[in-house]
């Protein structure tokens, strides 16, 4: 990436600080995440193959983007059982979701 930047920020842990993770990934500060933002951070934080992760996110995005806006809002991110956070806990972090 050749985009200019003014600072480097450590991305909070998705498992221990999901709100901080969301805020950090939401670089525009508009309360929503794009596919590109999510993909870049997940591939950076987890041992994922970029091509496979991109295909998986394309398939999973409609499940996470409940209103079809093209973005995942904080509420959609936190949706129990079907949200991005629930998916990450089950498949990337291997943390069972509370009932």
pLDDT tens readout for residues 25-50: 999 999 999 999 999 999 988 888 89
Angle between helix axes 35-45 and 50-64 (nearest 10 degrees) is 130
Total of domains in the chain? 1
CATH number of residue 56's parent domain:
1.10.238.10
The answer to whether residue 42 sits within a structural domain is yes
Which tokens hold the place of 16? Answer: 């221990």
pTM of the model: 0.83
- Within-domain flag for 12: no
Which structural domain, as residue segments, surrounds residue 47?
19-92
- Is 75 part of a structural domain of the chain? yes
> Looking at the domain assignment, is residue 26 inside a domain?
yes
Residue 3 lies in a domain: no
Residue 98 confidence (pLDDT): 47
Q: What is the pLDDT of residues 52-64, one digit of tens each?
A: 999 999 999 999 9
């Amino acid at each position: 990436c050749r985009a200019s930047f003014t600072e480097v920020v450590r991305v909070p842990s998705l498992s221990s600080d999901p709100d901080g993770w969301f805020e950090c990934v939401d670089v525009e500060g508009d309360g929503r995440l794009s596919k590109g933002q999510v993909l870049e951070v997940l591939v950076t934080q987890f041992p994922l193959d970029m091509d496979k992760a991109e295909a998986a996110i394309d398939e999973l995005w409609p499940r996470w983007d409940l209103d079809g806006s093209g973005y995942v809002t904080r509420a959609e991110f936190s949706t129990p059982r079907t949200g991005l956070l629930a998916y990450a806990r089950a498949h990337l972090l291997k943390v069972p979701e509370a009932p």
